[in-house]
């Protein structure tokens, strides 16, 4: 039996007698038991509370630099992003033996060095011929009017690397030029681009783009269409590779051609036909002369 005094002391200090260990005879809670419970609680209250363990916060990654996206770089970024958003593109590619094309280039350099016809000019000439045969790829889509616009001329854009980044000058009316005229215009626009003197109109109005990324030492790519055009041809590096010729494996100058096209303007048949024609002309430049 707990005495009234012990009960009063416990109540005054908020001690729960059910939680007090008794030390009296027959399990009776004595005054000293309640006083010890009061002392233990006081000790616990006086002890500093343990600080909660903080979750370590990872340090932010170090930023080396922040480069404003503006000017030419911003314009290129906006155009590429728009191309990805709007154009349902597809890419097809083929490996080709460019040995004969390189031979033709070298012969032109030796016999007519004044013309300055290089590999890019020959590829441009081949592209123009292919676009004559497959005009679907020389087009654009008017989304507002839900119309495909087939252009009556070829304004050939070509990728040029400069100190300011990649730019795409446009050779206007490339389909009306000879190979020598194409070479001269490509050289002129490239010089202006590298000098940072290209007028704005030289960077707009393209209907098809040629990208010779092989100069960067890469074999292939899935190039992004230069909006609002419908296709772009990429050319990888030309290197010695084993190739079957006349039933025998020999070393030939081989490259990869990649065509990315807008699937709204044509299907794989037209795209494949264009790419195959380009490949045939690369492998046998006489095909281009025969069909000129």
Active site residues: 263
Closest by alpha carbon to 104, among 83, 125, 88, 86? 125
The torsion angle over the Cα atoms of residues 189, 182, 166 and 283, rounded to 10 degrees, is: -160
| Alpha-carbon separation of residue 22 from 15, 16, 26 (angstroms) | 13, 12, 9
| Residue with tokens 């040995």, as numbered in its chain | 99
Cβ contact 203:169 at 8 Å? yes
Quick check: 213 and 159 in contact, CB under 8 A? yes
In this structure, what token pair is assigned to residue 247?
């039933």
**CA–CA separation, 87 vs 72, rounded Å?**
22
C-alpha Rg value of the chain to the nearest Å: 39
Query: CA 225, CA 217: separation in Å to the nearest integer?
Result: 21
């Amino acid at each position: 039996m707990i005495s009234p005094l012990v009960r009063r002391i416990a109540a005054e200090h908020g001690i729960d007698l059910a939680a007090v260990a008794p030390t009296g005879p027959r399990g009776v809670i004595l005054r000293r038991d309640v006083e010890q419970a009061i002392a233990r609680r006081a000790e616990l209250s006086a002890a500093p509370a343990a600080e909660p363990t903080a979750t370590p916060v990872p340090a932010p990654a170090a930023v080396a630099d922040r480069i404003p996206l503006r000017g030419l770089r911003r314009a290129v970024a906006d155009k590429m992003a728009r191309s990805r958003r709007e154009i349902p593109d597809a890419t097809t590619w083929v490996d080709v033996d460019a040995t004969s094309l390189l031979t033709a280039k070298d012969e032109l350099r030796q016999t007519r060095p004044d013309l300055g016809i290089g590999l890019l000019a020959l590829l441009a000439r081949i592209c123009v011929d292919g676009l004559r045969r497959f005009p679907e790829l020389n087009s654009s889509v008017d989304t507002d009017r839900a119309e495909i616009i087939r252009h009556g001329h070829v304004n050939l854009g070509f990728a040029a690397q400069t100190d300011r980044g990649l730019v795409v000058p446009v050779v206007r009316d490339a389909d009306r030029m000879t190979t020598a005229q194409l070479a001269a215009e490509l050289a002129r626009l490239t010089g202006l681009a590298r000098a940072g003197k290209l007028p704005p109109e030289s960077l707009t109005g393209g209907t098809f783009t040629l990208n010779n990324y092989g100069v960067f030492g890469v074999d292939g790519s899935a190039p992004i269409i230069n909006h609002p055009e419908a296709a772009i041809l990429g050319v990888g590096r030309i290197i010695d590779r084993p190739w079957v010729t006349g039933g025998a494996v020999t070393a030939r100058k081989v490259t990869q051609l990649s065509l990315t096209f807008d699937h709204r303007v044509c299907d794989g048949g037209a795209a494949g036909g264009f790419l195959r024609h380009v490949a045939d002309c690369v492998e046998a430049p006489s095909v281009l002369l025969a069909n000129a």
